[in-house]
Amino acid sequence: MRSKECVAMILAGGQGSRLGILTQNVAKPAVPFGGKYRIIDFPLSNCAHSGIDTVGVLTQYQPLELNTYIANGQPWDLDRTNGGVFVLPPYTSAEKGEWYKGTANAIYQNIGFMEQFNPKYVVILSGDHIYKMDYNKMLTAHKKANADATIAVIEVPWDEAPRFGIMNTDENMQIVEFEEKPENPKSNLASMGVYCFSWDVLKKYLMADEADPESENDFGKNIIPAMLGDGLKLMAHRFDGYWKDVGTIQSLWEANMELLDDKPGCDLDDDTWKIFSRNPIKPPQYVGATGSLKNSYTTEGCEIYGKVEHSILFEGVTICEGATVKDSIVLPGAVVNSGASVNKAIIGSDAIIGDGAEIGSTADDANSDYNNTKICSADITLIGPGIKIGNEKKVAVLSMVTDDIC
């Protein structure tokens, strides 16, 4: 194996339970986003553009779809002879077998993988954020500062700071303190879950962390505090682009809708930083004589005969004549039949909405059996993948529909 200066590891094992039915059978990084992408396309494309060609993807929860999607890494130019993308599930060994117990343990269990490339630096990424970032800039800063670890940070509004891991820094951006979800934050620089470590340092701390039975084996809770405690040089690397955690139905919906803004925060139409994805093999979209699209984002294989406003349609979606879709996200292959109306909803892949059905209804007689305000908020209605909604059925706003309604 040839040496690599830098290897990236993407933590993609999380369930993303707050996305409800959308992550019942798929890991969160495989959730569709923005018309033709999946969340993991963002870190993978960032790696490709940053010149990192050796990437480990750590999977655990429902990995089938994610594995199939990543496959040989060809869409991200990661089908390399030297390096490339590697899906790394938990495994058993002669002594024991165990799941990934935490983020640090997941990396610990793959020390052998990384050692093959004899890296100087390791970049640790999470597979559940939407952002375009040049990791190479961060690595350059890391080297220049002669740091042991560099953590990407982003300024968040002060009132939201208590929801994040906050980095308190000195005037040189060296981290002096790390506070996880502080009640009274001293800074509004939030950790993005993007770390760059000098490998020899990280390896030492991973081993020590593993030996500590009290540890939760987590980067934020254990590794970073331990390094700070030992007086290591940890630098904050300021990122001032768009960065969004899409961990909830509401944030997922918002992040999608922000693409429709006149000046979107995350401009996908950027030839210098294309987000690569596994493209469907489908013909262009067709808009029929009765179809209309306003302020919307659509992609290949769609057939549109109805009215679509302020919405995002994924590949192969059919909107029949007389149907209206507003403020919604329609995932791949879903069908909205004649006369149906879909209002502020996320329609799962291959779901079928019957003739004249109403999704996100505020009518008194609407079906509210699936009301779920734990998952759904901001009047968003969620229809699960492959769910069939019968003709003329009304599904109440804030529902998460997990069974067919006939």
- Name the one residue in this structure whose structure tokens are 């609407």: 366
In the complex, the smallest distance separating the C-beta of residue 256 from other proteins, rounded to whole angstroms, is 11
In the complex, the smallest distance separating the C-beta of residue 285 from other proteins, rounded to whole angstroms, is 5
Among candidate residues 356, 402, 404, the one with its CA nearest the CA of residue 381: 402
Q: Identify which of residues 68 and 74 has a Cβ nearer to other proteins in the complex.
A: 74
CB burial of residue 236 (10 Å; 0-12, 13-18, 19+): buried
Sheet holding 335-336, edge to edge: 303-304, 318-319, 335-336, 352-353, 388-389
309: left (phi over 0), alpha (psi -120 to 50) or beta: beta
- Enter the tokens of residue 29: 């990084």
The helix or strand, by DSSP H or E, that contains position 205, with its residue range, turns out to be helix 199-211
How far, rounded to the nearest angstrom, does the alpha carbon of residue 18 sit from its chain's CA centroid? 13
In the complex, the smallest distance separating the C-beta of residue 257 from other proteins, rounded to whole angstroms, is 13
In the complex, the smallest distance separating the C-beta of residue 391 from other proteins, rounded to whole angstroms, is 23
Site membership for other proteins, residue 4 (CB under 8 A):
no
**Options 5-13, 31-39, 133-141, 324-332: segment touching other proteins (CB under 8 A):** 31-39
Site membership for other proteins, residue 34 (CB under 8 A):
yes
Q: Identify which of residues 238 and 274 has a Cβ nearer to other proteins in the complex.
A: 274
HSE value, Cβ hemisphere, 13 Å, CA-based, for 292? 8
In the complex, the smallest distance separating the C-beta of residue 281 from other proteins, rounded to whole angstroms, is 4
Residues 278-297, interacting with other proteins (CB under 8 A):
279, 281-289, 291-297
- Please answer whether residues 244 and 131 qualify as being in contact, where contact means their C-beta atoms are separated by less than 8 angstroms: yes
HSE value, Cβ hemisphere, 13 Å, CA-based, for 44? 31
Site membership for other proteins, residue 340 (CB under 8 A):
no
Site membership for other proteins, residue 274 (CB under 8 A):
yes
**Options 96-104, 174-182, 213-221, 269-277: segment touching other proteins (CB under 8 A):** 269-277
Query: What's the chain's Rg over C-alpha atoms?
Result: 22
* Count of positions on this chain that bind other proteins (CB under 8 A): 36
In the complex, the smallest distance separating the C-beta of residue 321 from other proteins, rounded to whole angstroms, is 12
Member of 20, 75, 90, 185 binding other proteins (CB under 8 A): 75
In the complex, the smallest distance separating the C-beta of residue 51 from other proteins, rounded to whole angstroms, is 18
Member of 74, 82, 118, 362 binding other proteins (CB under 8 A): 74
> If DSSP states are collapsed to H, E and C, what string results for 177-191?
EEEECCCCCCCCEEE
Member of 183, 214, 240, 269 binding other proteins (CB under 8 A): 269
Binding residues for other proteins, per CB under 8 A? 34-36, 74-75, 260, 268-269, 274-277, 279, 281-289, 291-301, 303, 308, 312
